[in-house]
Amino acid sequence: MSQQPQRIVITREDIERLIEERNSLAALLDVVRQNLALVTQSINELRNAKDMLTLLSKGAAQDTYAGVGGGVFIKLRQPRARRFW
């Protein structure tokens, strides 16, 4: 006995439901991409702040404004020499 192929019936309602699901998923993907961009931006900002703090601790950055993250900048000045006599 040979089996006859099964027929798949897709209704207009099925197509409309699939289109709505696709649109919802596309909107969700856009939100995920936006969140990924924000996370990447935050990571880069934190790296820059870490690098600037490293330079500060070594005394390599002087007489400038330095970004320390979150849009915050601090003014750096060359430290005055201390006399201990």
For the segment 28-73, what is each residue's pLDDT rounded down to a tens digit? 999 999 999 999 998 998 888 788 778 777 777 667 777 777 777 7
Q: 19 in a domain, yes or no?
A: yes
- 69 burial (CB, 10 Å; 0-12 / 13-18 / 19+) is middle
Q: 4 in a domain, yes or no?
A: no
| Rounded average pLDDT over 17-34 | 98
Q: 84 in a domain, yes or no?
A: no
Q: 85 in a domain, yes or no?
A: no
Boundaries of domain holding 23: 12-76
Given this model, what pLDDT does residue 32 score? Answer: 98
Q: 82 in a domain, yes or no?
A: no
Q: 81 in a domain, yes or no?
A: no
> How far is CA 44 from each of CA 13, 30, 74, rounded to the nearest angstrom?
47, 21, 18
pLDDT exceeds cutoff 90 at 74: no
Number of domains the chain is built from: 1
pTM for this predicted structure:
0.62
Given this model, what pLDDT does residue 83 score? Answer: 62
